[in-house]
């Protein structure tokens, strides 16, 4: 998996490209928790190009979500494709995360 | 050969592998299974489902079964036909009671970062069963359930 980040409208947009599998989880953890530790607590994860996600990576997203919220920020998910959307629904994590159809929508609601 | 597994069934021979307890070894084995399914014409949804369940089973075996002990191994066996794929994963740990896992979809557990692997395996495969020792899981996915 590759992780690309950018700043947009006061948010850190984290783009996950490829498979968020167990071996990518460490990289994801460093990217998200590192950003929060550095003060970037408004995070949008762009999942448009994420073709796979495992429970380990979901756990990283949950940990980052809780840390961001604990610091007054947020972690939102944007544009999950069919398989990822189904995983979010199956785990009922769509009830925990705010899930937006696209990044712009996630950025607008700030 | 997995415990109690017939040598073959309708010409489906078991392909066996022994993985060291290192997470880095998972991807290659995972893609071997997925490539096999793709070559048999399975669609994307089934390939995704099997890949997810496979990864969860192997990670559970390494982390919770073998406790990431590099001297222990995970025994993997799979066989695939145009109709179904079967996967067996066995660890060298002490076993566990799969009924004792809290429901990760319950409201009170949604914020917990762990505990979703078995639920995902059960959701994405058609059959999931454990040996009485709790050290081996058998998962089956049918092309047309």
- Judged against a pLDDT cut of 60, whether residue B1 lies above it is answered with no
A55 shares contact with chain B (CB less than 8 Å): yes
Average pLDDT over residues B84-97: 96
Interface probe with A: pick from B44, B49, B52, most Cβ of A within 10 Å = B52
Contacts of B119 in chain A (CB under 8 A): 90-91
What number of H helices and E strands is found in chain A?
Answer: 4, 6
Band of the pLDDT at B96, cuts 50, 70, 90?
confident
Position B4 scores a pLDDT of 47
Contacts of B52 in chain A (CB under 8 A): 52, 54, 87
Position A110 scores a pLDDT of 59
Band of the pLDDT at A7, cuts 50, 70, 90?
very high
Kindly report the nearest CA distance between residue A23 and chain B, in angstroms. 7
Position A108 scores a pLDDT of 83
Mean pLDDT score across all residues of chain B: 93
A56 shares contact with chain B (CB less than 8 Å): yes
Q: Name the token pair of B73.
A: 């191994």
- Judged against a pLDDT cut of 70, whether residue B125 lies above it is answered with yes
B25, B44, B19: which is closest to B34 by C-alpha? B44
pLDDT single digits (tens) B19-75: 999 999 999 999 999 999 999 999 999 999 999 999 999 999 999 999 999 999 999
Write down the architecture of domain A2-108 according to CATH.
2-Layer Sandwich (3.30)
Position B87 scores a pLDDT of 98
Contacts of A62 in chain B (CB under 8 A): 111-113
CB B125 within 8 A of CB B140: yes
d(CA A93, CA A25): 17
pLDDT single digits (tens) A23-74: 999 999 999 999 999 999 999 999 999 999 999 999 999 999 999 999 999 9
B23 shares contact with chain A (CB less than 8 Å): yes
B105 shares contact with chain A (CB less than 8 Å): yes
d(CA B57, CA B16): 15
Residue A95 CA: distances (Å) to CA of A57, A62, A85, A92, B31: 17, 12, 12, 6, 31
Q: What percent of chain A has pLDDT above 70?
A: 98
Q: Do A54 and B56 touch (CB under 8 A)?
A: yes
Residue A48 CA: distances (Å) to CA of A2, A15, A101, B7, B144: 13, 8, 9, 43, 29
Average pLDDT over residues B5-12: 59
Band of the pLDDT at B9, cuts 50, 70, 90?
low
Position B145 scores a pLDDT of 77
- pTM score of the predicted model: 0.94
B4, B31, B139, B18: which is closest to B79 by C-alpha? B139
Q: Do A83 and B26 touch (CB under 8 A)?
A: no
Band of the pLDDT at B99, cuts 50, 70, 90?
confident
A62 shares contact with chain B (CB less than 8 Å): yes
CB B69 within 8 A of CB B83: no
Q: Please, what CATH class does the domain formed by B14-142 belong to?
A: alpha beta
Q: Which of B27, B107, B124 sits opposite A21 (nearest CB)?
A: B27
């Amino acid at each position: 998996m590759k992780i690309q980040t950018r700043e947009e409208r006061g948010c850190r947009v984290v783009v996950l490209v490829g498979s968020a599998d167990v071996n990518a989880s460490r990289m994801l953890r460093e990217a998200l928790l590192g950003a929060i530790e550095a003060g970037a607590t408004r995070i949008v994860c762009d999942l448009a190009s994420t073709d796979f996600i495992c429970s380990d990576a979901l756990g990283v997203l949950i940990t980052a979500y809780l840390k961001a919220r604990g610091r007054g920020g947020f972690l939102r998910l944007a544009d999950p494709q069919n398989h990822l959307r189904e995983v979010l629904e199956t785990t009922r994590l769509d009830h925990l995360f705010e899930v937006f159809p696209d990044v712009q929508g996630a950025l607008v609601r700030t | 050969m997995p415990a109690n597994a017939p040598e073959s069934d309708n010409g489906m021979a078991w392909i066996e592998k022994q993985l060291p307890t290192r997470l880095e070894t998972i991807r290659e084995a995972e893609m071997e299974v997925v490539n096999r399914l793709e070559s048999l014409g399975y669609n994307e949804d089934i390939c995704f489902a099997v890949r997810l369940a496979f990864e969860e089973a192997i990670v559970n075996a390494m982390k919770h079964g073998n406790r990431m002990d590099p001297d222990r191994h995970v025994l993997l066996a799979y066989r695939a036909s145009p109709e179904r794929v079967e996967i067996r994963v066995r660890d060298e740990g002490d076993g566990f009671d799969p009924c004792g896992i809290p429901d990760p979809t319950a409201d009170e557990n949604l914020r917990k970062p762990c505990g979703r692997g078995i639920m995902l395996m059960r959701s994405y495969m058609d059959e999931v069963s454990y040996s009485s020792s709790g050290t081996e899981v058998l998962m089956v996915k049918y092309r047309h359930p």
